[in-house]
Amino acid sequence: MDDIPGHDIGDLVDQLKNAEKYLKKPEKAEEEFNLDPEELEKFILNNAGKLVKKSIEMVDEVKQYVETAPESRDVSSLSELINASSSAIETLSKILVQNKRDKTQKEVKQMDIDGKKQLMQGEFNAKVMLSRDDVMKELFAKVEKEEKNITPTQSQE
């Protein structure tokens, strides 16, 4: 039977059809996934960044493929891939803008608080200075009155 042409090919085809029985599929270790709320932002940003990077690489690869042998479904796939990539980039941009806006608002609020503190301190210093000046004037006025009262009495003696 080995002399029959095509018999070897039939054996190969049978082996390929039944390959699933003989090949061991890699066991996928089920990994426990825990995500703390504190790490959520970091997780989202890292994975979104990876996704954007991979999708841009895929856009380049699919683009090269479409350029060599354009078919309508390939062009459609490229279009959807570009749309998904731009959507992911837009989402990351929104996150970046929101983070910068939050930081700017905090800085402006802190400047506002510092300015109010300086104004209040200036008003307090002004009141202290005015009251100090007033106290000093009163003291000098009392001293002058007493000197006037004491001087004539002493000169009479």
Tell me 3's DSSP state.
T
Predicted pLDDT of residue 104:
94
pTM score, two decimals?
A: 0.47
| Helical H segments across the chain, by residue range | 7-17, 19-22, 40-68, 72-156
Helix axes 72-156, 40-68, angle to 10 degrees: 150
> Cβ distance 62 to 78 under 8 Å?
yes
Q: Which residue has the tokens 């493929």?
A: 65
Q: Residues with Cβ < 8 Å from 91, sequence gap 6 or more?
A: 48
**pLDDT tens readout for residues 88-127:** 888 888 888 898 999 999 999 999 999 888 888 887 777 7
| pLDDT category of residue 157 using cuts at 50, 70 and 90 | very low
Predicted pLDDT of residue 69:
76
Region 11-16 average pLDDT: 71
**pLDDT tens readout for residues 17-60:** 776 766 666 666 566 777 777 788 888 888 888 888 888 888 88
The domain locations on the chain are 35-147
